[in-house]
Structure formats: structure tokens, C-alpha cells
Amino acid sequence: MLYRTLPGTELQLPAIGLGCWALGGEHWGDDVDDASSLALIEGARERGVDLFDTAPLYGHGHADALLRRALGGTRHEVVIATKVGVRWDTPDGHPRSDLSPAHVVADCEASLVRLGLDVIPLLQTHWPCEGGTPLAATLEALEGLRQAGKVRAYGLCNAPPADLDEALALAPIASLQTPYSMIRRDFEAALRGRCGALGADGRWQQRLGVLAYEALGRGLLTGKFAAAPAFPESDMRRHDPRFREPAWSTLRPLREALRICAARVEVPPAALAIAWVLRQPGVSVALVGAKRLAQLDEDLRALEVIGRARVFEALAPFVARARP
């Protein structure tokens, strides 16, 4: 495993972390089952994937319960990154972000109990507040949790540039979790320069950790779909325009180039898509949403090809033209 240190902390993160959203059993179709999820978590651990990204929202606590069950006592030795803020006890039942200090503290306490931890290694705000709480007040609550020893480090997910600037000015935030893939590259223009910079020695200096999600484009970059897939109603990708025309055809040259290049270096296309993300300046970790151990084994092969510059040179023009 390749490790990356989260700047300003003692946290060592494996370059590939397991995203646990699908394991919650909602929004990702009908083929998620607890037995496979438990085997996946145990297998991840055996393979050095010591970073698990979860959230109270993932199955309303179910992903957390599976993590606790599968990891057992080793849950204290790995990095569990979880989130705060999203409530689902809303009048219309739609999840909503509440980053008021009281809710941040209550949500964190509930996660500590559910995960069976004394301290949460990395706590992230799930998405920006929709309840009017100033970011400064949220950060003060997170810093209070850190100083009370309930959280080792904290960061933001899905932060727009202005929030990231404000947070960097006000608090020792350790991380940003954000979407980034060959087909979703807003990070480059909007956020990367805030997360690090090229040093005088020409080397990239990371200012805070960046955990990239959707490295696989929700499966679109794995090469497994010969035609636009028909997802069941239980799978949110049914409503994702990238899996429908016109984006499906627009992205065909990239999918085809991935398939050909992956065959040339003898790894699955998923491995190339993840390695592409890990090669980008500013990225610390790619979170991958494998559902089964066989998928994770394919995804981990990214580590074999990170250094294969020529294959990424061959892919570059296709990535440049891939705008869904």
C-alpha cells in the first residue's frame, strides 16, 4: 500500500480508501448484501486498506454498524473517516444539512456510540449548511470536539471555494473531500490551488489532505457497461445524466481509450481511472466505492500503474475532450 500523510496531523492514509456509501444498502441498486459487505471490509483490512469513509446517512447508520461488526477490535487501529451535519428527521423527509454547533456535537457523539470508538480519526462536514449557521460557528464546534479528544482531525466535504478559504483562515482543517475524476474536473480550477502549491523546488506542497470521490465516475469508468445501463429504481444512477444520451455517446471515446490502454498494461480499466486521479497534483487519497471484494481487488491494481507515465500520456487527449 502507498501511504500519504494528512498535513498537520499524524494520520497516515492509504492512497486508496474504501467508500462505504453503497454498503448502507440504499441508492446503489439491489445487489448489496451484508454478507458481501462484511467480507469486503475484512478483505480491505487484510489488503492494507485502512481507511473507511462512512457517514451517518449511509443506510441511516447501517454502514457504521457493518464497519463495527467487521472490524471488531481493529476498528481502533484504522482510520474511520465519518461525517456530521445531515439530518433526515425533517418535515418533508428530505435530508438536510444542519451544521449548528449543537447538532455537530450531537451527531459526533452519536457516531462515537454507533462506531464504538473513543475518538473519531477524521470528522468531516458532509455538505454545506442549509440552516444558516455561519461556518465560523461550525468550525468552533469542530475545534471544541478536537480539543476534547473526541476527534483527531476534521475537515470539509463538498466545500465551495469561498468556504474553503474561510475555513483555512479560521481553523486547522486537515482535509477536503471532493469529487474528482477523468470526467469531473472542477477541482482543478476551483480548489486545487487552495489545497496546495508548487514549491520553489518544483515539488508539490500539500496544504491539506484531499480525499477524491467518484474516481470511477460511479462505475462509468470501469469498462463494464457495453451499452447505456438500465438501472433499477433503487439505484440513483438511473437519474444520472452521465449514463444517458447525449453524455453516454460523448464519453464513448474515453471509455474505449481506457479499455485499450488498460489491456495494454494488463490491468482493469477501473485501475487506470483510479491511478489517473492519484497521479494528479493535490490529491492525497482516492475513495472507491467497491461493493464486493472482487471489485476492490481490481481497484487496488491502480497501485501497479501509477508510475506508467506513457499510458497516461496516451489517455490525456481523450480525458481533455471528455466533457459529459
Ligand X SMILES: NC(=O)c1ccc[n+]([C@@H]2O[C@H](COP(=O)([O-])OP(=O)(O)OC[C@H]3O[C@@H](n4cnc5c(N)ncnc54)[C@H](OP(=O)(O)O)[C@@H]3O)[C@@H](O)[C@H]2O)c1
Contact footprint for ligand X (CB under 6 A)? 19-22, 28-29, 53, 126-127, 157-158, 177, 213-219, 222, 224, 268, 270, 287-291, 295, 298-299
- CA distances 280 to 181, 275, 286, 307, 323, Å, are 10, 9, 11, 12, 18
CB burial of 92-112 (b: ≥16 within 10 Å; e: otherwise) equals eeebbbbbbbebbbebbeebb
Q: Which is nearer to ligand X, 171 or 286 (CB)?
A: 286
Q: Which is nearer to ligand X, 107 or 214 (CB)?
A: 214
Measured CA to CA, the distance from residue 247 to residue 93 in angstroms comes to 31
Report the nearest approach of ligand X to the CB of residue 124 (Å): 7
Q: Which is nearer to ligand X, 198 or 252 (CB)?
A: 252
Report the nearest approach of ligand X to the CB of residue 54 (Å): 7
232: cis peptide before it, omega within 30°?
no
Report the nearest approach of ligand X to the CB of residue 112 (Å): 19
Task: Say if residues 143 and 105 touch (Cβ distance below 8 Å).
Answer: no
Report the nearest approach of ligand X to the CB of residue 237 (Å): 8
Q: Which is nearer to ligand X, 139 or 157 (CB)?
A: 157
Q: Which three cell numbers stand for residue 229?
A: 445501463
Q: Which is nearer to ligand X, 148 or 220 (CB)?
A: 220
Q: Which is nearer to ligand X, 198 or 282 (CB)?
A: 282
Measured CA to CA, the distance from residue 269 to residue 307 in angstroms comes to 16
Report the nearest approach of ligand X to the CB of residue 316 (Å): 20
Task: Say if residues 180 and 283 touch (Cβ distance below 8 Å).
Answer: yes
Measured CA to CA, the distance from residue 214 to residue 179 in angstroms comes to 6
Task: Say if residues 5 and 174 touch (Cβ distance below 8 Å).
Answer: no
Stated as kind and residue range, the H or E segment containing 3 is strand 3-5
Report the nearest approach of ligand X to the CB of residue 232 (Å): 10
Measured CA to CA, the distance from residue 213 to residue 222 in angstroms comes to 15
Q: Which is nearer to ligand X, 63 or 257 (CB)?
A: 63
Report the nearest approach of ligand X to the CB of residue 198 (Å): 27
For ligand X, which residue has the nearest CB? 19
3-state secondary structure 113-151: HHHCCCCEEEEEECCCCCCCCCHHHHHHHHHHHHHCCCE
